[in-house]
Amino acid sequence: MTGFLGSGKTTLVNHILKGDHGKLIAVIENEFGAVSIDDALVGENIKEEENIITMDNGCVCCTVRGDLVRALLTLKDKTKKFDHIIIETTGLADPAPVAFTFFINPEIADHYRIDSILCLADAKHIGPHLEEEKPDGVVNEAASQVAFADRILLNKIDLVSDTELLGVMDQVRSINGVAEVIKTTNSVVDLDKVLGVSSFSIEKTLEVDPDFLEDEEGYAAATAAHDGAAVDTDVGNGHSHDGGKTTCTEDHSHSAEPVPKKPRKKKHDLTGVSSVGILAEGELDFNQVNTFMAAVLQENAKSIYRSKGVLCFKDQGNIKFIFQGVHEHINFGPSSMEWAEGEPRVNRMVFIGRDLNRAELEESFKACLVKN
């Protein structure tokens, strides 16, 4: 699951987890910063027998890609077999290297299959990100996410006019004219359109990225491409698993020696983009936080792509408050989660954007704590 920052990915994950589908689902969350927020936002909806794994402080497509491999192998060895594994990438991820993981590692390639690459696009804010000019040889993450998807959820259509919606549709279609586009509000979608759809196609993927089966070091994939459903684990397609050994009955081979080829043309460069994670124990003053956030987001509307947090306010009992912001648009209110007895009241706040002033943000946020 891809989509630029604030497009509604975590909301969709929660919608899926709360759905009446009878499926056993695991979730792998990828956070760009060191302070994790999404695990708390998803955790309230994940059932006891399901799993959530969080990978912090980097993009799953590059700096924490090894963590993805380890997470997938951990889930593979669980006693219970999952019907689906949802990988929610950070909003700054390039989807190609993430998908590539399912082909380069033989153990993962034999156990998992990609069901679909789903991209969420924020109808209100995606336009400027799609048009953002990058230096030569550097990928535009938002455009790459749209281009690489086989299914696109055009979300938050309630925030734009009919004319604006048509314009966004034209932008999306100019980048990807093949993927099915589903218009949504609050990431609400028929689950039959996002689970078990078998819409991933290696042929279509290679049309978008001819070098897809080459890794970043310029080597051909050590495993052959599988077309069809994948995150449906251990299901058909000629694979049998016996005693921990995997036998492939399909007509393909697993090459022991990768073949040198030229490197990818474009690189994933997040120079200037950073995440400011803030931890602050204690109770916050509601009015001060409101004033602080309004000022910060108004002054930095273009440079702060995403803000989110789990907060504790004075005189609100055990209620946890959830803060969500995309550029200058914010929303925060009570969560169904509560602070547990004995749980430290630690506020978690994350800002993701370009050229952020870490010291100023942290000092201003902590100034909102109620003085004892």
Q: What is the pLDDT of residues 86-135, one digit of tens each?
A: 998 888 887 887 888 888 788 888 899 999 999 999 999 999 889 888 77
Q: What is the pLDDT of residues 24-35, one digit of tens each?
A: 888 888 765 555
Closest CA to 246 of 121, 354, 108: 108
pTM value? 0.64
* φ and ψ at residue 90, rounded to 5 degrees: -65, 155
pLDDT at res. 155: 96
Q: Are strands 239-242 and 245-248 parallel, antiparallel or unpaired?
A: antiparallel
Helix (H) / strand (E) containing 194: none
Q: Is the pLDDT of residue 342 over 80?
A: yes
CB 42 within 8 Å of CB 10: yes
Right CATH number for 2-248 from 3.40.50.300, 1.20.1270.360, 1.10.10.60, 3.50.30.30? Answer: 3.40.50.300
Mean pLDDT of 9-37: 78
Q: C-alpha angle with apex 170: 14 to 203, nearest 5 degrees?
A: 70
- Domain ranges in the chain? 2-248, 273-366
Per the document, the length of the chain is: 372
In whole angstroms, give the CA distance from residue 291 to residue 250. 61
Outline where the chain has alpha helix (H).
Answer: 9-17, 38-43, 65-76, 95-104, 106-111, 126-131, 141-148, 162-175, 202-208, 286-299, 358-366
Question: Hey, what CATH topology would domain 273-366 get?
Answer: Hypothetical Protein Yjia; Chain: A;domain 2 (3.30.1220)
Confidence category of residue 224, pLDDT binned at 50, 70, 90: very low
Burial of 122 (0-12, 13-18, 19+ CB in 10 A): buried
CB 52 within 8 Å of CB 86: no
Chain mean pLDDT for the chain? 76
Mean pLDDT of 47-52: 52
DSSP string over 291-342: HHHHHHHHHTTTTEEEEEEEE-BTT-TTEEEEEEEETTEEEEEEEEEEPPTT
In whole angstroms, give the CA distance from residue 29 to residue 31. 7
